[in-house]
Amino acid sequence: MPVEAKGGRLELDGGALAYRSIGEGPLVVLTHALGPLAWGDVGRLAESCTVVVPDWEASTLDRKAQVTLAWFEPLVRAHGHEGGTLCAWSMSGPGAIFFAAEEPPALSRLILVDVAGLSPGSFSFRLRDLPHLLVMRLLGRPTRGFVRMLWRSWVWRRGLDTRELEDATLRFFRANPDAFGMPGGGDEDEDEEDETLLDELPSIAAPTLVLAGRHSEVLGPEHGRGAAERLPAGELVVFEESGHALQLEEPERFQEVLAAFVGGGTPPASPP
Protein backbone atom coordinates (compact mmCIF):
# COMPACT_ATOMS: atom_id res chain seq x y z
CA MET A 1 0.00 0.00 0.00
CA PRO A 2 1.11 3.63 -0.38
CA VAL A 3 3.10 5.24 2.43
CA GLU A 4 0.14 7.58 3.05
CA ALA A 5 -1.96 4.69 4.33
CA LYS A 6 -3.09 4.99 7.95
CA GLY A 7 -2.50 2.26 10.48
CA GLY A 8 -5.33 1.07 12.71
CA ARG A 9 -6.07 -1.58 15.32
CA LEU A 10 -9.35 -3.25 16.23
CA GLU A 11 -9.76 -5.21 19.47
CA LEU A 12 -11.86 -8.34 18.95
CA ASP A 13 -12.61 -11.63 20.68
CA GLY A 14 -9.58 -13.80 20.02
CA GLY A 15 -7.09 -10.96 19.67
CA ALA A 16 -6.44 -7.69 17.87
CA LEU A 17 -6.72 -6.99 14.16
CA ALA A 18 -4.13 -4.58 12.75
CA TYR A 19 -4.92 -3.01 9.41
CA ARG A 20 -3.97 -0.22 7.01
CA SER A 21 -6.47 2.03 5.27
CA ILE A 22 -6.49 4.77 2.66
CA GLY A 23 -9.00 6.71 0.56
CA GLU A 24 -12.67 7.66 0.78
CA GLY A 25 -15.78 6.19 -0.78
CA PRO A 26 -17.32 2.69 -0.92
CA LEU A 27 -15.45 0.28 1.33
CA VAL A 28 -13.35 -2.56 -0.10
CA VAL A 29 -11.36 -4.92 2.12
CA LEU A 30 -8.41 -6.72 0.50
CA THR A 31 -7.45 -9.90 2.33
CA HIS A 32 -4.53 -12.29 1.98
CA ALA A 33 -2.13 -13.89 4.44
CA LEU A 34 0.71 -11.63 3.27
CA GLY A 35 -1.25 -8.49 4.13
CA PRO A 36 -0.38 -5.19 2.37
CA LEU A 37 2.53 -6.75 0.46
CA ALA A 38 0.11 -8.96 -1.45
CA TRP A 39 -1.62 -5.98 -3.08
CA GLY A 40 1.14 -3.53 -3.95
CA ASP A 41 0.33 0.16 -4.38
CA VAL A 42 -3.46 0.67 -4.36
CA GLY A 43 -3.36 4.45 -4.75
CA ARG A 44 -5.46 4.48 -7.90
CA LEU A 45 -8.18 2.39 -6.26
CA ALA A 46 -8.12 4.71 -3.23
CA GLU A 47 -9.07 7.64 -5.47
CA SER A 48 -12.67 6.38 -5.46
CA CYS A 49 -12.82 3.84 -2.61
CA THR A 50 -11.91 3.37 1.02
CA VAL A 51 -9.33 0.58 0.83
CA VAL A 52 -8.62 -1.46 3.96
CA VAL A 53 -6.01 -4.23 4.17
CA PRO A 54 -5.63 -6.44 7.27
CA ASP A 55 -2.00 -6.72 8.36
CA TRP A 56 -1.68 -10.24 9.74
CA GLU A 57 1.98 -9.96 10.75
CA ALA A 58 1.07 -7.10 13.09
CA SER A 59 -2.14 -8.74 14.34
CA THR A 60 -2.71 -11.04 17.31
CA LEU A 61 -6.07 -12.36 16.12
CA ASP A 62 -6.14 -16.14 16.30
CA ARG A 63 -6.05 -18.26 13.14
CA LYS A 64 -9.65 -19.47 13.49
CA ALA A 65 -10.98 -15.92 13.58
CA GLN A 66 -8.78 -15.00 10.62
CA VAL A 67 -9.94 -17.87 8.42
CA THR A 68 -13.65 -17.63 9.33
CA LEU A 69 -13.55 -13.86 8.72
CA ALA A 70 -15.07 -13.11 12.12
CA TRP A 71 -13.31 -9.75 11.78
CA PHE A 72 -15.04 -8.55 8.61
CA GLU A 73 -18.26 -7.07 9.98
CA PRO A 74 -16.58 -5.30 12.96
CA LEU A 75 -14.02 -3.85 10.54
CA VAL A 76 -16.76 -2.56 8.24
CA ARG A 77 -18.63 -0.96 11.16
CA ALA A 78 -15.42 0.56 12.54
CA HIS A 79 -15.07 2.51 9.29
CA GLY A 80 -18.62 3.86 9.53
CA HIS A 81 -20.10 1.69 6.75
CA GLU A 82 -23.15 -0.57 6.78
CA GLY A 83 -21.65 -2.88 4.18
CA GLY A 84 -18.52 -3.40 2.15
CA THR A 85 -16.87 -5.41 -0.59
CA LEU A 86 -14.60 -8.31 0.34
CA CYS A 87 -11.76 -9.04 -2.07
CA ALA A 88 -9.82 -12.26 -1.43
CA TRP A 89 -6.80 -13.55 -3.31
CA SER A 90 -5.48 -17.09 -3.67
CA MET A 91 -5.52 -19.11 -0.43
CA SER A 92 -7.75 -16.54 1.26
CA GLY A 93 -10.45 -17.40 -1.27
CA PRO A 94 -11.87 -20.57 0.34
CA GLY A 95 -12.54 -18.81 3.65
CA ALA A 96 -14.18 -15.91 1.80
CA ILE A 97 -16.42 -18.31 -0.14
CA PHE A 98 -17.67 -20.13 2.97
CA PHE A 99 -18.15 -16.78 4.71
CA ALA A 100 -20.14 -15.32 1.80
CA ALA A 101 -22.34 -18.42 1.58
CA GLU A 102 -23.67 -17.58 5.05
CA GLU A 103 -25.06 -14.31 3.60
CA PRO A 104 -23.53 -11.97 6.21
CA PRO A 105 -25.45 -8.66 6.21
CA ALA A 106 -22.29 -6.54 6.03
CA LEU A 107 -21.13 -8.18 2.78
CA SER A 108 -22.30 -6.11 -0.19
CA ARG A 109 -20.10 -7.61 -2.91
CA LEU A 110 -17.47 -10.31 -3.25
CA ILE A 111 -14.34 -10.43 -5.42
CA LEU A 112 -12.43 -13.68 -5.84
CA VAL A 113 -8.94 -13.11 -7.23
CA ASP A 114 -7.54 -16.28 -8.81
CA VAL A 115 -8.59 -18.24 -5.74
CA ALA A 116 -7.18 -21.61 -4.78
CA GLY A 117 -9.41 -24.65 -4.40
CA LEU A 118 -11.73 -24.12 -7.38
CA SER A 119 -9.57 -26.12 -9.79
CA PRO A 120 -7.24 -29.13 -9.67
CA GLY A 121 -4.31 -26.96 -10.80
CA SER A 122 -0.75 -27.57 -9.67
CA PHE A 123 2.41 -25.55 -10.13
CA SER A 124 5.25 -26.64 -12.41
CA PHE A 125 8.86 -27.06 -11.33
CA ARG A 126 12.28 -27.77 -12.79
CA LEU A 127 14.70 -30.55 -11.86
CA ARG A 128 16.81 -28.05 -9.95
CA ASP A 129 13.82 -27.49 -7.65
CA LEU A 130 13.57 -31.17 -6.67
CA PRO A 131 15.93 -30.88 -3.65
CA HIS A 132 13.79 -28.07 -2.23
CA LEU A 133 10.67 -30.21 -2.59
CA LEU A 134 12.33 -33.16 -0.86
CA VAL A 135 13.65 -31.01 2.00
CA MET A 136 10.23 -29.44 2.44
CA ARG A 137 8.64 -32.87 2.73
CA LEU A 138 11.22 -33.95 5.30
CA LEU A 139 11.05 -30.79 7.39
CA GLY A 140 7.30 -30.31 7.13
CA ARG A 141 7.78 -26.66 6.16
CA PRO A 142 8.93 -24.85 3.03
CA THR A 143 12.51 -23.80 2.38
CA ARG A 144 13.48 -20.46 0.86
CA GLY A 145 14.18 -22.27 -2.40
CA PHE A 146 10.71 -23.80 -2.38
CA VAL A 147 9.09 -20.41 -1.83
CA ARG A 148 11.07 -18.91 -4.71
CA MET A 149 9.95 -21.80 -6.88
CA LEU A 150 6.32 -21.05 -6.01
CA TRP A 151 6.64 -17.41 -6.97
CA ARG A 152 8.53 -18.21 -10.17
CA SER A 153 5.71 -20.55 -11.14
CA TRP A 154 2.93 -18.14 -10.16
CA VAL A 155 4.20 -14.96 -11.83
CA TRP A 156 3.82 -14.75 -15.60
CA ARG A 157 5.81 -11.53 -16.02
CA ARG A 158 9.17 -12.86 -14.96
CA GLY A 159 10.62 -9.38 -14.45
CA LEU A 160 8.42 -8.74 -11.40
CA ASP A 161 10.53 -8.40 -8.26
CA THR A 162 9.05 -10.81 -5.68
CA ARG A 163 11.85 -10.81 -3.10
CA GLU A 164 9.79 -9.11 -0.39
CA LEU A 165 6.89 -11.43 -1.10
CA GLU A 166 9.18 -14.45 -0.91
CA ASP A 167 10.48 -13.38 2.49
CA ALA A 168 6.96 -12.69 3.78
CA THR A 169 5.70 -16.04 2.46
CA LEU A 170 8.50 -17.89 4.20
CA ARG A 171 7.86 -16.05 7.48
CA PHE A 172 4.16 -16.84 7.25
CA PHE A 173 4.59 -20.58 6.71
CA ARG A 174 7.20 -20.84 9.44
CA ALA A 175 4.90 -19.02 11.85
CA ASN A 176 1.86 -21.07 10.78
CA PRO A 177 3.01 -24.64 10.05
CA ASP A 178 -0.60 -25.86 10.06
CA ALA A 179 -1.77 -23.36 7.45
CA PHE A 180 -3.25 -24.52 4.16
CA GLY A 181 -2.37 -28.19 4.61
CA MET A 182 1.41 -27.78 4.44
CA PRO A 183 3.26 -31.10 4.98
CA GLY A 184 3.52 -31.85 8.67
CA GLY A 185 0.77 -29.39 9.48
CA GLY A 186 -1.82 -31.97 10.37
CA ASP A 187 -4.68 -30.18 8.60
CA GLU A 188 -6.73 -33.24 7.77
CA ASP A 189 -9.79 -31.29 6.61
CA GLU A 190 -8.07 -29.43 3.79
CA ASP A 191 -8.90 -31.94 1.03
CA GLU A 192 -12.51 -32.25 2.19
CA GLU A 193 -12.90 -28.47 2.20
CA ASP A 194 -11.56 -28.16 -1.34
CA GLU A 195 -13.93 -30.89 -2.56
CA THR A 196 -16.97 -28.95 -1.31
CA LEU A 197 -15.83 -25.47 -2.31
CA LEU A 198 -17.62 -25.42 -5.68
CA ASP A 199 -20.81 -26.59 -3.98
CA GLU A 200 -20.84 -23.42 -1.86
CA LEU A 201 -20.92 -21.04 -4.83
CA PRO A 202 -24.68 -21.33 -5.62
CA SER A 203 -25.40 -20.19 -2.04
CA ILE A 204 -23.64 -16.85 -2.48
CA ALA A 205 -26.29 -14.20 -3.08
CA ALA A 206 -23.94 -11.19 -3.19
CA PRO A 207 -22.83 -9.97 -6.62
CA THR A 208 -19.51 -11.73 -7.17
CA LEU A 209 -16.64 -10.95 -9.50
CA VAL A 210 -14.21 -13.74 -10.39
CA LEU A 211 -10.79 -12.59 -11.62
CA ALA A 212 -8.42 -15.04 -13.31
CA GLY A 213 -4.97 -14.75 -14.88
CA ARG A 214 -4.72 -16.17 -18.40
CA HIS A 215 -1.46 -17.93 -17.53
CA SER A 216 -2.34 -18.95 -13.96
CA GLU A 217 -1.79 -22.52 -12.84
CA VAL A 218 -3.92 -21.94 -9.73
CA LEU A 219 -7.30 -20.99 -11.24
CA GLY A 220 -7.08 -19.76 -14.83
CA PRO A 221 -9.85 -18.78 -17.28
CA GLU A 222 -11.45 -22.20 -17.78
CA HIS A 223 -12.05 -22.95 -14.11
CA GLY A 224 -12.76 -19.28 -13.44
CA ARG A 225 -15.58 -19.43 -15.99
CA GLY A 226 -16.95 -22.58 -14.35
CA ALA A 227 -16.95 -20.85 -10.97
CA ALA A 228 -18.68 -17.73 -12.32
CA GLU A 229 -21.40 -19.86 -13.93
CA ARG A 230 -22.19 -21.51 -10.59
CA LEU A 231 -22.69 -18.15 -8.88
CA PRO A 232 -26.23 -16.67 -8.94
CA ALA A 233 -24.76 -13.22 -9.66
CA GLY A 234 -21.30 -14.07 -10.92
CA GLU A 235 -19.10 -12.49 -13.57
CA LEU A 236 -15.66 -13.40 -14.88
CA VAL A 237 -12.87 -11.04 -15.94
CA VAL A 238 -9.68 -12.54 -17.41
CA PHE A 239 -6.32 -10.76 -17.17
CA GLU A 240 -4.54 -11.67 -20.37
CA GLU A 241 -1.00 -10.67 -19.34
CA SER A 242 -0.98 -12.26 -15.89
CA GLY A 243 -0.36 -15.47 -14.04
CA HIS A 244 -1.56 -15.97 -10.47
CA ALA A 245 -0.50 -12.57 -9.07
CA LEU A 246 -2.59 -10.48 -11.44
CA GLN A 247 -2.98 -7.57 -9.00
CA LEU A 248 0.81 -7.15 -9.12
CA GLU A 249 1.30 -8.03 -12.78
CA GLU A 250 -1.43 -5.75 -14.18
CA PRO A 251 -1.96 -3.33 -11.27
CA GLU A 252 -3.57 -0.47 -13.20
CA ARG A 253 -6.17 -2.66 -14.87
CA PHE A 254 -6.76 -4.56 -11.62
CA GLN A 255 -7.57 -1.35 -9.75
CA GLU A 256 -9.74 -0.08 -12.61
CA VAL A 257 -11.79 -3.29 -12.58
CA LEU A 258 -12.18 -3.22 -8.79
CA ALA A 259 -13.16 0.44 -8.68
CA ALA A 260 -15.91 -0.10 -11.26
CA PHE A 261 -17.31 -3.16 -9.48
CA VAL A 262 -17.12 -1.75 -5.95
CA GLY A 263 -18.85 1.41 -7.16
CA GLY A 264 -21.78 -0.63 -8.46
CA GLY A 265 -20.88 -0.43 -12.14
CA THR A 266 -19.88 -3.05 -14.71
CA PRO A 267 -16.20 -4.01 -14.71
CA PRO A 268 -14.33 -3.31 -17.95
CA ALA A 269 -14.51 -6.35 -20.20
CA SER A 270 -11.49 -8.48 -20.98
CA PRO A 271 -9.59 -7.32 -24.08
CA PRO A 272 -10.55 -9.21 -27.26
Domains of the chain, earliest start first: 6-121+198-262 (3.40.50.1820), 127-180 (no CATH)
pLDDT reported for residue 190 = 45
pLDDT reported for residue 121 = 58
* b/e code 188-219 from CB counts within 10 Å (16+ = b): eebeebbeebbebbeebebbbbbbbbbbbbbb
Task: Report CA 180 to chain centroid distance, whole Å.
Answer: 13
pLDDT reported for residue 193 = 42
Low-confidence ranges of the chain (pLDDT < 50): 3, 180-194, 272
pLDDT per position as a tens digit, 169-207 = 988 888 877 664 433 334 444 444 445 789 999 999 999
Q: Where are the alpha helices (DSSP H) in 92-234?
A: 93-101, 130-139, 144-154, 163-175, 190-200, 220-230
The β-bridge partners of 238 are: 212
Cα separation, 98 vs 100, in Å, equals: 6
pLDDT reported for residue 83 = 96
Q: How many CB atoms lie within 10 A of CB 98?
A: 18
pLDDT reported for residue 140 = 65
pLDDT reported for residue 188 = 45
pLDDT reported for residue 185 = 38
